[in-house]
């Protein structure tokens, strides 16, 4: 029984290593790049940057807002 377990473990390890390489290559291809002719980021890179900035600002505004909770000062 140990041969079967060892063989499955090796097969799983190899599949994991190959899958990791494939995923890294696909991730590199999916990243928006700078256009080589105009030396400007392409439209998807600009849209991604704007969406990221809006998301960060929304999160920051929501976290810094202090007027929603009732005051604890009893005067």
The alpha helices in the chain, defined as continuous H runs, are 2-30, 43-64
Q: Are 53 and 45 in contact (CB under 8 A)?
A: no
The model's confidence at residue 2, banded by pLDDT at 50, 70 and 90, is low
Inter-CA distances, 17 with 9, 14, 23, 30, Å: 12, 5, 10, 20
Is the pTM higher than 0.85? no
pLDDT (tens digit, 9 = 90+) per residue, 4-58?
788 899 999 999 999 999 999 998 887 766 666 776 767 777 788 888 899 888 8
């Amino acid at each position: 029984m140990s041969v079967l377990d060892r063989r499955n473990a090796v097969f799983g390890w190899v599949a994991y290593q190959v899958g990791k390489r494939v995923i890294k290559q696909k991730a590199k291809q999916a990243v928006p790049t700078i256009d080589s002719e105009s030396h400007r980021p392409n439209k998807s890179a600009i849209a991604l940057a704007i969406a990221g900035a809006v998301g960060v600002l929304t999160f920051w505004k929501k976290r810094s807002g202090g007027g929603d909770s009732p005051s604890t000062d009893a005067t």
